[in-house]
Amino acid sequence: MAKNLTKRSEDYSKWYNELVLQADLAENSGVRGCMVIKPYGFSIWEKMQAELDRMFKETGHQNAYFPLFIPKSYFSKEASHVDGFAKECAVVTHYRLKDDGEGGVVVDPDAKLEEELIVRPTSETIIWDTYRKWIQSYRDLPLLINQWANVVRWEMRTRLFLRTTEFLWQEGHTAHATKKEAIEETEQMLDIYADFAERYMAIPVVKGLKTESERFAGALETYCIEALMQDGKALQAGTSHFLGQNFAKAFDVKFTAKDGKQDFVWASSWGVSTRLMGALIMTHSDDNGLVLPPNLAPDQVVIVPIYRSDEQFDLVSKVAKEVMSELRAKGVRVKFDNRDTHKPGWKFNEYELKGVPVRLAIGPRDVENGTLELARRDTLTKETVSRDEVSGIVVALMDEIQKNLYKKAQNHRTENTSEVSTYDEFKEVLKTKGGFIYAHWDGTNETEEKVKNETKATIRCIPLDAKDEDGECMVTGKPSKRKVLFAKAY
């Protein structure tokens, strides 16, 4: 594996692509904008899935599965939803191939579908069509369902993990008896996403509301978490939508309340995708490769044996295995890499590239001295630790590295967050350092559009924790109640 990661400052995109490839996470499949997620990359995704799934279930949600194909007619039921997705859908028109007589195959023109099927870009429509059958009474509510699935969006431009044609995600779809409850659910899920981002991914995020123009197609309110990448661009890491009664009305989902009156149910939907992998990579990695937070690392510790002879290998292995079971007993995920097909130096680089938080090396010298060599991925430092204390040290380190990564990301964000009061200042900051920029905005679509056209920066969100402060819109000078978050985004 040739390591030639480009310096981020020179070409961030190239650096990102090479890192994804070299850390063995994913590769381009050659199928239009679709990637192959390789076993190592997928094991990280599985870890994310497992933690999120647990958090969903702890808050009363259940998993279910709905069809990949959605009849075209379902899409015409919620007008704004169509507008949002119609442009980017893959459509199934035929159901059979036939021999073309020249050793190839062609689509059989006789096998045309009466009604085309849309490969789901998101499942609101088919799920709400199903919910109509499931919901009759207030006793059936709330309905709290999540689906782990793949979706397809025919985007113009694709990018590994950040925007692939097909991507994996989870989509939660809930139905409630009251507006208040649906909004609470929407906010609760946003909090879960933020909590997951911060505690597991070690990525600080800003929670906020999208402006009208950035709102999900069909939603009354879109909440999001926004993270800042190392190159100063923002990445939307998760969204949670309050759908009001739009989908209930479109799909005629009514329930009878305690008082016998009928009403449409209130809804939310929320999702995070394999894009989180992109966020993870772009937040923590360095020029030596991926850096994984211990809470998500498939292997938190790798033990590399160093030896010349078989006798030495046996000696070293014995201690390594003891340390491994000691650590496993304390709940640490450990791998003992006893392959004799690669040399220690090669393994050191391999695990650095793959971002394993802690590496332990043990050789004959260590066995003699009762020590191990411990290397941290986050700081790239090495120290010699005592054999007897190693498991305690490692357990404490898991916590420390997790916190350190978060702190580093937080510091980076703080350093790259600016507050401006004039449009000139805004453009200047955008040009010289980028990052998050807080500024007053008059709340109009026109101003938002103007800033976007002139600077490429968009309003990432109206932060939930924004303090009230009267001011003037940096562009128009009209009154503004609070500052909003601008940035160039992925």
Partner RNA sequence: CGGGGUGUAGCGUAGCCCGGUUAUCGCGCCACGUUUGGGACGUGGAGGCCGCAGGUUCGAAUCCUGCCACCCCGACCA
CB of 185 to RNA, least distance (A): 18
CB of 171 to RNA, least distance (A): 10
Nearer to RNA, 180 or 343 (CB): 343
CB of 54 to RNA, least distance (A): 22
Strands 301-305 and 334-336: parallel
CB of 66 to RNA, least distance (A): 18
Nearer to RNA, 89 or 135 (CB): 89
CB of 11 to RNA, least distance (A): 8
Nearest to 242 by CA among 214, 216, 264: 216
Rounded-to-integer distance, Cα 209 and Cα 473, Å:
18
Sheet containing 483-487: which strands, arranged edge to edge? 62-63, 143-152, 166-176, 266-273, 234-244, 221-228, 206-209, 458-463, 483-487, 436-440, 417-419
Nearer to RNA, 13 or 137 (CB): 13
Nearer to RNA, 237 or 327 (CB): 237
Half-sphere exposure of 309 (CA within 13 A, CB side): 4
CB of 283 to RNA, least distance (A): 14
Is the Cβ–Cβ distance between 236 and 270 less than 8 Å? no
CB of 167 to RNA, least distance (A): 4
Nearer to RNA, 35 or 182 (CB): 35
Nearer to RNA, 10 or 110 (CB): 10
Nearer to RNA, 141 or 485 (CB): 485
Show Cβ contacts of residue 470 under 8 Å, excluding neighbours closer than 6 positions: 479, 480, 481
CB of 19 to RNA, least distance (A): 11
To the nearest 10 degrees (0 to 180), the angle between helices 275-284 and 39-58 is 110
| Residue 33 φ/ψ region, left for φ over 0, alpha for ψ in the -120 to 50 degree band, beta for the rest | left
Nearer to RNA, 34 or 464 (CB): 34
Nearest to 81 by CA among 207, 268, 215: 215
Q: CB burial class (10 A; 0-12, 13-18, 19+) of residue 157? A: exposed
Q: Write out the DSSP string of 134-172.
A: H--BGGG--EEEEEEEEEE---SS-BTTTB-SEEEEEEE
CB of 80 to RNA, least distance (A): 11
Rounded-to-integer distance, Cα 253 and Cα 283, Å:
42
CB of 252 to RNA, least distance (A): 25
Nearer to RNA, 3 or 330 (CB): 3
Is the Cβ–Cβ distance between 474 and 420 less than 8 Å? yes
Rounded-to-integer distance, Cα 111 and Cα 109, Å:
5
H helical segments located in 416-444 = 423-432
Rounded-to-integer distance, Cα 115 and Cα 411, Å:
54
Residue type, 129: D
CB of 57 to RNA, least distance (A): 23
Nearer to RNA, 344 or 443 (CB): 344
Nearer to RNA, 128 or 161 (CB): 161
Binding site for RNA (CB under 7 A): 1-3, 13-14, 17, 28, 30-34, 84, 87-88, 153, 155-160, 162-165, 167, 169, 214, 216, 236-237, 239, 271, 273-275, 288, 306-308, 340, 343-346, 348-350, 352-353, 359, 361-366, 372-373, 375, 380, 382, 452, 456, 489-490
Nearer to RNA, 264 or 423 (CB): 423
Residue holding tokens 């809930």? 174
Neighbours of 298 (CB within 10 A): 19
Q: Write out the DSSP string of 250-301.
A: HTT-EEE-TTS-EEE-EEEEEEEETHHHHHHHHHH-BTTB----TTT-S-SE
Cα of first residue to Cα of last residue in the chain, in angstroms, is 29
CB of 238 to RNA, least distance (A): 7
Nearer to RNA, 141 or 279 (CB): 279
Is the Cβ–Cβ distance between 130 and 163 less than 8 Å? no
CB of 470 to RNA, least distance (A): 31
